[in-house]
Amino acid sequence: MDMITFAFRNVWRNKRRSLTTMAAIVCGYAAISLFGGYIADTYNSLQVQAVSGERLGHLTIFKEGMLKEGRLSPKKYLFNQEEMAKLKEIVSAYPGVKVVTPGLPISGIFNADNASSIFIGDGVVAKDLEILRGDLLAGYGGQIHQGMDTGIAIASDMGRMLAMEKGGLPTLITSTYSGQANAMDAEIVDVFETGNAGTNDKMILVPFEFAQHLMDTNGAQRFVVMLDNINNTSIAKDELQKKLVEAGLNVEIKTWRDLSSFYNQVAGLFNMIFTFIFCIVFIVIVMSIVNTMSMSVIERTREIGTLRSLGFIKLRIVYLFLLEGGILAVLAVGVGALISVVVATGIDLAKIEYTPPNSSAPVPLKIALNFPQMLITFALTLVLAAVAAVWPSLGASRKPIHTALNHI
Amino acid sequence: MKVITGQALKNIPNYESQQQPEHAPKEVLVSLQQVSKYYQLGDIKITALNNVSLKLYANDLVVVYGPSGSGKSTLMNMISLTDVADSGIVEILGSDVKQLNDSQQAEFRNKNIGFIFQNFNLIPMFSALENVMLPLLVAKVSKADARKQALEILAQVGLADKVNARPNQLSGGQQQRVAIARALVNKPKLVVADEPTANLDSRSSENIINLMRGLNREFNTSFIISTHDARVLNQIDHKIQLVDGNIVEGDK
């Protein structure tokens, strides 16, 4: 009769109570795991949206001061041809860089056949855009053709609003960097979803050279860098910053998280909700275990006295209850993990769609179970179960044996 | 065991043994010298044992009796190391129990003292066999040896066919037999039985007392039994009577 077997049998001594406690742990653990998985998938989606959808890449390189004062004197903070060539050469040589591509923002009036609207847009290199968007955004549109200088893509809500679709021939009117009005005819070659309700009625993508002509410049406002591994973002940022400054380029580099305020806001909100739910669920779990273990200790006080009279030392009594709490937690968490996997798979197979706040299109509801987080939750549950078991058993083990034996 | 309490000495709180065992020298198992124990009940201080002195020797059977509140249980607690005296010296097998720490006391109880309780106190989740194996496993005897020894002693108490039964599948008498087997399996020098027949019918009670008497002879183990039960008193020769925490009569 080893202690684990002894503890295991004791767990099933009061089946109803143990099962009720386990049910509380199972539900709590599954709720935390599934919500954690939902958040993880949301973060993944937001990350894809920021990196590829908003074309932030992993890193964006600006001229120093661009983000602070670029709106006041944008021309001052453009990279010239020489700087562009040097920067591209240095960054392209950095290990793990998939693409480094220039960008130029544009804005102005989008003049359709019978109506006009404001637009914001980006001048992008078509072949680089394909790499930047990758396979993850396939089906969402947004490809401009290589070799077609005037081919542009517009956001779907903008197209609906202005009754424009593929083949449409709008005119884009802007103010150049030197303050002159400029206009260029374009042809709509694609319609896309920005994924963001705030930009889906005004966003356009144009070829980089088209944007340069429209803004009457041969420079670029920024360079977007896509790495082969997002986890290297911070290292690459620091090292590229150093290399570029050493090469005489006065730049500042921002990560996609620095620039995606939407990601940061959503992440902040979800983290707060998750922490709140996590705390509530854990309080319920701890109280359930404390209640079960306390009841168990009280009911078995005489047995504790018997075991001590047979030669059990105090610590062995505590160890026994520790094991019982641990077994309860391990079994419940195991079932909770299993239920989480089944529910997550079920949701995945059901192909449920929903439209998140500020989103321009429905997205699939997915649960990306976060196994490291589940493991941490498991460890925390185990520790709390142990504490919940030790607390009452320590008190009972300290009772004089004759008092414990006479407990009613 | 010879109870060295001398003649009946009513109302004499400090009592020293005067009588020696018949076949001296016998090993002294328990020696209490001027032992007192008090309990606080609100503002009232209750004297459970009042300067009690006695010696118990190896290989005998003695019964402690007296009315409720006379100090029987307290005396049994002192002898079984489940409570500590407020004053006086308690020596079990030559060891001053005050010198033993908690772990040493636990080991001492495991190896030298068997317990039989009024309510049997078997572990409900264990079979009869596992209950009897428990003290051996605590003493770190291998599982195979513990099983073998437990089976032997269960056979000796007449429960060879009940080894796999859980306590709730056994009668009161059978449960107490399991408890006796558990108390004896480590071959202790002393078995402390607290009201062992209180929850048993007459027949079971007689059987249990006869069993303990037989085992006392067979195992050379001393038994000290506290009881209210006149049937037990009538079957055992050596007696200690307690009244108000004092030994008032011994070795009739």
Residue A3, both tokens: 């202690």
Residues of B with CB under 8 A from a CB of A: 73, 77, 80, 82-83, 102-103, 106-107, 109-111, 113, 115, 117, 119, 121, 123-126, 130, 133-135, 137-139, 143, 182
What total number of domains does chain A contain? Answer: 2
B12 and B205 Cβ atoms separated by less than 8 Å: no
Q: H-helix or E-strand containing A210? A: helix A208-215
Give pLDDT, residue B17. Answer: 35
**Average pLDDT over every residue of A53-62:** 90
Within 13 A of B32's CA, how many CA atoms are on the CB side?
Answer: 31
Describe the strand order of the beta sheet including B246-250 as a list of residue ranges.
B113-116, B190-194, B222-227, B61-65, B238-243, B246-250
pLDDT per residue as tens digits for the range A121-144: 999 998 888 888 776 655 566 677
Cβ-based interface (< 8 Å): residues of A facing B: 1, 6, 9-10, 12-13, 302-303, 305-314, 400-402, 405
Residues 6+ apart with CB under 8 A from A234: A255
**DSSP H/E element including A185:** strand A181-185
The SS3 assignment for B187 reads coil
CA atoms within 13 A on the CB side of A17: 16
Q: Which of A305, A306, A311 has the CB atom closest to B106's CB atom?
A: A311
Rounded to the nearest angstrom, the minimum Cα separation between B20 and chain A is: 31
State whether A291 and A375 are in the same domain: yes
Range of the domain at A314: 3-50+263-405
Phi, psi of A120 (to 5 degrees): -125, 150
- Which value, in Å, is the radius of gyration of the alpha carbons in chain B? 18
Distance CA B93, CA B184 (A): 17
pLDDT score of A255: 94
List the single best residue of A12, A307, A309 to mutate versus B (max B Cβ within 10 A).
A309
> For B102, which of A310, A314, A405 is closest by C-beta distance?
A314
Three-state DSSP class for A111?
Answer: strand
**Tell me: the pLDDT tens digits for A328-375?**
999 999 999 999 999 999 998 998 888 776 666 677 888 888 899 899
- Spell out which residues of chain A touch residue B106, defining contact as CB-CB under 8 Å: 308, 311-313
Q: Are residues A294 and A154 in the same domain?
A: no
Mutate to test the interface with A, among B121, B129, B176, B180 (most CBs of A within 10 A): B121
A102 and A192 fall within a common domain: yes
What is the distance in angstroms between the Cα of A370 and the nearest Cα belonging to chain B? 39
- Domain co-membership, A237 together with A92: yes
A32 shares its domain with A88:
no
Q: Kindly list the residues from chain A whose CB atom is less than 8 angstroms away from the CB atom of residue B124.
A: 13
Query: Which residues in chain B are contacts of A310 at CB distance < 8 A?
Result: 109-110, 115, 134-135, 138, 182
Residue A299: list chain B partners with CB under 8 A: none
Q: State whether residue A97 is helix, strand or coil.
A: strand
Alpha helices in chain B, H assignment, sequence order: 72-79, 102-112, 128-138, 143-156, 172-184, 202-219, 230-235
Residue A162 · residue A115 · CB < 8 Å: yes
Whose tokens are 């983290």? That residue is A271
Q: What is the pLDDT of residue B184?
A: 87
In B, minimum Cα distance to A408 occurs at B119
Write down the H helix ranges in A57-125: 66-69, 81-92
The whole-chain average pLDDT of chain A stands at 89
Q: What is the pLDDT of residue B182?
A: 93
What is the per-residue pLDDT across A312-324, written as a single tens digit (0 to 9) for each? 999 999 999 999 9
Checking if the pLDDT of A393 tops 50, the result is: yes
Q: Looking at residues A10-15, what average pLDDT do you find?
A: 89
Query: Are A18 and A69 found together in one domain?
Result: no
Rounded CA gap, B208 and B158, in Å? 11
Per CB-CB distance under 8 Å, the chain A contacts of B182 are 310
From the number of C-beta atoms within 10 Å of its C-beta (0-12, 13-18, 19+), residue A239 rates as middle
Fill in the amino acid letter for B67: P
Same domain? For A100 and A83 the reply is yes
* CB-count exposure of residue A360 (10 Å: 0-12, 13-18, 19+): buried
Supply the angle between the helices A371-398 and A314-350 in degrees, to the nearest 10: 150
Q: How far apart are CA A22 and CA B245, in angstroms?
A: 50
- Give the H/E segment covering residue A389: helix A371-398
Say if residues A124 and A55 touch (Cβ distance below 8 Å). yes
Confidence of residue A193 (pLDDT cuts 50, 70, 90): confident
- CA atoms of A403 and A383, how far apart (whole Å): 30
Looking at A220, A240, A259, which one is the last position of a domain?
A: A259
Two tokens, residue B72:
């029987």
Distance between CA atoms of residues A268 and A314, nearest Å: 47
Closest by CA position to B232, among listed B199, B192, B196: B196
Give the domain-ending residue among A259, A293, A325. Answer: A259
- Whole-angstrom Cα distance, residue A215 to residue A201? 22
Please indicate, yes or no, whether residues A11 and A135 belong to a single structural domain of this protein: no
Give the ipTM: 0.85
Residues of B in contact with A405 (CB under 8 A): 82, 117, 121
Does residue A278 share a domain with residue A145? Answer: no
**Vertex B204: Cα angle to B199 and B207 (nearest 5):** 130
Together in a domain, A135 and A169:
yes
Interface test with B, best of A310, A318, A403 (most B CBs within 10 A): A310
Instruction: Note the pLDDT of residue B25.
Output: 65
Say what angle helices A261-299 and A15-48 make with each other, to 10 degrees: 170
Average pLDDT, consecutive stretches of 10 residues, N- to C-terminus, chain B (252 residues): 32 38 69 91 87 87 88 90 91 87 90 89 93 93 94 89 94 90 89 85 81 81 87 82 84 42
SS3 content of chain A, % helix, strand, coil (to 5): 55, 20, 25
A96 vs B216, higher pLDDT: A96
Residues A168/A187, Cβ–Cβ less than 8 Å: yes
A310–B182 CB contact, under 8 Å: yes
Report the distance separating Cα B80 and Cα A399, nearest Å: 16
A224, A244, A259 — which closes off a domain?
A259
Is the link from the previous residue into B25 a cis peptide, with omega within 30 of 0?
A: yes
Q: In the numeric block, which tokens belong to residue B31? A: 């020696």
Q: Is A361 left (phi over 0), alpha (psi -120 to 50) or beta?
A: beta
Could you tell me which chain A residue has the CA closest to the CA of B146? A1
Same domain, A66 and A26: no
Terminal-to-terminal C-alpha distance of chain A: 27
User: A267-317, pLDDT tens digit by residue?
Assistant: 899 899 999 998 998 888 888 888 888 888 889 999 999 999 999 999 999
In this structure, the answer to whether residues A325 and A214 fall within a common structural domain is no
**DSSP type of residue A79:** B
Give the helix/strand (H/E) hosting A32. Answer: helix A15-48
Is B154 within 8 Å of B160 (Cβ atoms)?
yes
Residue-level pLDDT at B227: 87
| Cβ neighbours of B49 in A, within 8 Å | none
* Cβ contacts from A onto B, under 8 A: 64
Give the nearest partner residue to B139 out of A12, A311, A402, using CB atoms: A311
Nearest to A312 among B121, B126, B138 (CB): B138
At residue A293, the pLDDT reads 87
The band of A213, judged by pLDDT with boundaries at 50, 70 and 90, is very high
Out of B111, B123, B138, name the one closest to residue A303 (CB): B123
Output phi, psi for A137, to 5 deg. Answer: -105, 20
Distance from CA of B128 to the nearest CA of A (A): 13
